[in-house]
Each structure stands twice: as structure tokens, then as C-alpha cells.
């Protein structure tokens, strides 16, 4: 077997979580990531028949039976993952009953996956139903995104429009817009179900007063989506109350056309 610490997916998790902590998106044990892995690749590093223990999934994940994920642990700090991946990360496979996850590696201190695991898995199911290339669900607490969310109505078209008007990059990076949920109790199946429903239409979903979920075909896409929303939200908040110039809808549409993107319908007035 190859050294698991040299696996590309472990290196990606170490690098990405370190970057997210450095960016200030994931204070303390805030934030979580789940990454759908290729079974054949994992098999180069682990004995897939060696199940260390099983962990209840917290919901019926039958749609993902046999799928393997590397997932950040509950109560774990992103700042510690690079130094000690085996304690702070785990590789799990959804069991044949759909209600348990088989631990193949990690959580060596007896821990388990993030409390948001059901929300992550529900989002994976939703995204895979519309994008077979989907692989990553990333949750974080970016400061300006949360701040902007507190001064805007819980209206995804309005929130998306304000972002598109604030940064020419925005409509190009997320022409599908940003979904927005009202304030809900996190760590519950209810918020997971609501998020997954939004994920059928959006790659990004804001949790009011909490943070954001970003998804993608790889780490770069999910990270880049959140990074662009956060940068744009920062611009919006720095100019709040003093805005004289916003990007006209006509220009937003022309930017989208230039990059062969189709903005979500019903937002632009052109």
C-alpha cells in the first residue's frame, strides 16, 4: 500500500483547510468539508475490506451506498489538520444499510465526522443529481458574507443581484446565483433538507446569520466560489451607504455573454 499521507486527496484537504483558516473563514472548530473520492484511488492507499468501526449517519443515505468520502471531524480545528490529519480527518464509506458509515481511516482519537454530515451528504445527493462531475461540499463562516447577509433581505435574487452589481467577476464565476436560507438551527436534518433543495439549483447556499455552503467538481472550484462571494461581499460592505456607482445590468449581461455564461433568469432587468 502507498503512504496515505502522500495521497493527493489528503494533501488537498491539508492545504485547503489551512488556507481557509488563514483566510479567517473557519474560526475555532467552525466549518467542515466533505470530498467524494474515487474508490480505485483510495484502494491504492487503504485496505477497503478493513473497516475500523461504524458510525451512524443520522439519516438515510441510501443514495450514496458504497460512496467513499474524506470528511473533517466534529469539534476539530482546521488549524490542526495539516499537522495531524489522522486525528482531524476521516475516510468513510456509506454502508449497505444507508444508515451507517464505515470508518476506513482517521478519527484516531475516537472521534467522528462533522455534526453537519447529514447536510453534507444531502447536498452531495442533490448536486450529483444535476452534475455527475460534482465532488466537494465546503462549509465556512466568511466574515463579510455573513455581514452582508445581515443587512440584506432573505431574498436570493436580491442578494445575488447586489453581488453581481459590486464586482465584474461575480456574474462570470456564479451566473447561477446564490441561494439563501432563513436563519435555522444548524446541525439538524431540517437545515440539511432545505440546503439540499437549494443545491438542485445553486452551487452556493448562504445560511442566514451563519455562513455559506459551496460545492464543486474539485477543491479549487468550491473554494473559488466562496472566495469570490466573500471578496464581493467585502466590497459591498465597505461601500455600504456610500455607493454611487454599481455595475449596470446591461454590463452584467455583456460580461456574462463575453464569458459564455447564462445568468439566472429573473434577476437582471435588460
pLDDT in tens, 39-48: 999 999 999 9
pLDDT average, residue stretch 209-232: 98
Q: Which of 7, 33, 8, 6 is nearest to 19 (CA)?
A: 33
The C-alpha cell that represents 173 in the structure block: 464565476
* Domain 141-265 class in CATH: alpha beta
pLDDT in tens, 124-145: 999 999 999 999 999 999 999 9
Pairing of the two strands 204-207 and 179-181: parallel
Task: Please report, in angstroms and rounded to a whole number, the separation of the first and last CA atoms in the chain.
Answer: 58
pLDDT at residue number 66:
98
Examine the pLDDT at 79 and tell me if it is beyond 80.
yes
pLDDT at residue number 242:
85
Q: pLDDT class for 82, splitting at 50, 70, 90?
A: very high
pLDDT at residue number 101:
98
Q: Fold identical between 1-115 and 141-265?
A: yes
Examine the pLDDT at 11 and tell me if it is beyond 80.
yes
Q: How far is CA 161 from the centre of its chain?
A: 21
pLDDT at residue number 105:
98
pLDDT average, residue stretch 176-204: 96
Could you give the residue numbers annotated as active site?
116
Residue 104 · residue 91 · CB < 8 Å:
yes
Write down the CATH superfamily of domain 1-115. Answer: Class II aldolase/adducin N-terminal domain (3.40.225.10)
CA angle (214 as vertex; 45, 24 as ends), nearest 5: 90
The C-alpha cell that represents 35 in the structure block: 470530498
pLDDT average, residue stretch 199-204: 98
Examine the pLDDT at 241 and tell me if it is beyond 80.
no
pLDDT in tens, 99-115: 999 999 999 999 999 99
| In the chain, where the domains are located | 1-115, 141-265
pLDDT at residue number 121:
97
CA 71 to each of CA 33, 87, 107, 139, 251: distance values in angstroms, whole numbers, following the listed order: 6, 11, 10, 12, 40
pLDDT in tens, 223-236: 999 999 999 999 99
Q: pLDDT class for 207, splitting at 50, 70, 90?
A: very high
Q: pLDDT class for 243, splitting at 50, 70, 90?
A: confident
Pairing of the two strands 32-37 and 53-56: unpaired
pLDDT at residue number 1:
87
Q: pLDDT class for 244, splitting at 50, 70, 90?
A: confident
pLDDT in tens, 58-75: 999 999 999 999 999 999
Q: How far is CA 88 from the centre of its chain?
A: 18
Amino acid at each position: 500500500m502507498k503512504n496515505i499521507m502522500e495521497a493527493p486527496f489528503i494533501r488537498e484537504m491539508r492545504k485547503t483547510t489551512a488556507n481557509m483558516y488563514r483566510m479567517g473563514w473557519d474560526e475555532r472548530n467552525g466549518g467542515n468539508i466533505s470530498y467524494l473520492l474515487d474508490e480505485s484511488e483510495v484502494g491504492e492507499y487503504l485496505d477497503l475490506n478493513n473497516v475500523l468501526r461504524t458510525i451512524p449517519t443520522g439519516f438515510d443515505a441510501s443514495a450514496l451506498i458504497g460512496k467513499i468520502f474524506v470528511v473533517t471531524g466534529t469539534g476539530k480545528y482546521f488549524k490542526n489538520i495539516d499537522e495531524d490529519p489522522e486525528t482531524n480527518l476521516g475516510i468513510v464509506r456509506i454502508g449497505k444499510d444507508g444508515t451507517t458509515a464505515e470508518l476506513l481511516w482517521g478519527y484516531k482519537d475516537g472521534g467522528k465526522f462533522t455534526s453537519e454530515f447529514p447536510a453534507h451528504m444531502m447536498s452531495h445527493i442533490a448536486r450529483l443529481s444535476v452534475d455527475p462531475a460534482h465532488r466537494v461540499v465546503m462549509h465556512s463562516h466568511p466574515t463579510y458574507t455573513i455581514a452582508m447577509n445581515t443587512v440584506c433581505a432573505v431574498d436570493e435574487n436580491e442578494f445575488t443581484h447586489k453581488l453581481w452589481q459590486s464586482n465584474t467577476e461575480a456574474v462570470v464565476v456564479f451566473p447561477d446565483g446564490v441561494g439563501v436560507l432563513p436563519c435555522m438551527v444548524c446541525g439538524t436534518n431540517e437545515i440539511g433538507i432545505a440546503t439540499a433543495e437549494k443545491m438542485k439549483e445553486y452551487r452556493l447556499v448562504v445560511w442566514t446569520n451563519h455562513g455559506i455552503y459551496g460545492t464543486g467538481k474539485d477543491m479549487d472550484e468550491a473554494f473559488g466560489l466562496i472566495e469570490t462571494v466573500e471578496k464581493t461581499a467585502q466590497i459591498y460592505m465597505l461601500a455600504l451607504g456610500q455607493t454611487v456607482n454599481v455595475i449596470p445590468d446591461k454590463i452584467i449581461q455583456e460580461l456574462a455573454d463575453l464569458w459564455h455564461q447564462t445568468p439566472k433568469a429573473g434577476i437582471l432587468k435588460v
